[in-house]
Copies of this chain bind each other. A is one copy, B any other.
Amino acid sequence: MRSLSLLAGVCLSVNALAAVPANEPVQPIAPAEITSPAKVELGKQLFFDPRLSRSGFISCNSCHNLSMGGSDNLPTSIGHNWQEGPINSPTVLNSSLNLAQFWDGRAADLKEQAAGPIANPKEMAFTHILAIDVLRSIPQYRDAFKTVYGSEEITLDDVTDAIAEFEKTLVTPNSRFDKWLKGDKDAITQTEREGYELFKSIGCVACHNGPALGGNSFQKMGLVEPYQTDNPAEGVAGLTGKDADRFKFKVPTLRNVELTYPYFHDGAYWKLEESVDVMARLQLGRKLSDEEIGKITAFLKTLTGEQPSFALPILPPSSNDTPRPQPFE
């Protein structure tokens, strides 16, 4: 009996594998490999520490909220003094897979990105020098940096390195779609499978491919038909000044897209169905039926992976020497 069951299991497995076409343009998300737990723990504390902001109120997690798909679920973010941010806050989940960071790719990697919001007057509105002063005034941080980087000195380079190292752990493996990719044919429904086939056949996959289904190229928003928005962001052209780069943005990942509403660089669309419709019309010149939109949306929801699970970090207290936050000055 026992070997019969085993055999049945093997047959099922072979069937399941046979059902998955080879050479898919999407690959599963690999789980995080943590080689330096102390560095990741330090980075986690820094990610959650609002003392890296002028107000003492805004942390990385405020706009890349790990309870909410690594985003803030707002059209554009709330910054220091309740300033309205210029652009939708991209998810930090799987962001290590991006070819560059920010919508316009102006940071080469997560480490470079992490320094940006701290000193951006519309975001955390601090200065790097003051942020470092705060950390240096806290004995437990000095100890942690010494353990991880061999020195109590604490530099911006170390701070952003630790934050980036934590962020690299924020991957979301084992989505239902990844299980299907790996051979479990029952992991997604027939409708979801049809959605995936449509996603490929109508051309979504031309930009949304690879393990993150995006994040690996810059593309023009409004390729066939212009995108209507009040948002003044010009994308890569803001960096290069080239007309050819106007409205060229990094293609966002579709991993966990069910959690990262509202959509597009201006956060103007809340519903996944509407976003699929807009994308098909503007990028592919194609008007999808409600049924097609429903199928693609169903597929997109299979991309929700295991969210990073960890204990809420407990932050070390300020000392008598810690510069005080200035929320209302």
Contacts and interface: CB of A to CB of B under 8 A. Distances in A.
A267 to B, nearest CB: 10
A170 B27 CA distance: 42
Contacts of A57: 62, 72, 74, 78
A201 interface: no
Interface stretch (A31-39, A286-294, A318-326): A318-326
Interface string A76-110: 00100110100000000000000000000000000
Nearest to A260: B317
Given A67-B48, A327-B74, A312 B314 contact: no
Contact of A312 (B73, B310, B315): B310
Nearest to A55: B78
A56 B81 contact: no
Interface in A25-50: 48-50
Interface string A209-228: 00000000000000000000
Q: Which of A74, A258, A259, A313 has the most CB of B within 10 A?
A: A74
Contacts of A313: 67
Contacts of A50: 65, 68
Nearest to A81: B82
A324 B263 CA distance: 13
A273 B325 CA distance: 19
Contacts of A48: 67
B311 A73 contact: no
A318 B78 contact: no
B67 A315 contact: yes
A309 interface: yes
A69 interface: yes
Given A72-B57, A74-B57, A309 B307 contact: no
A311 B307 CA distance: 11
Interface string A107-138: 00000000000000000000000000000000
A4 to B, nearest CB: 39
Contact of A328 (B66, B84, B328): B84
A270 B325 CA distance: 11
Contact of A74 (B56, B273, B310): B56
A261 interface: yes
**3 nearest A-B pairs in the assembled complex, by CB-CB distance:** A82-B82, A307-B314, A67-B315
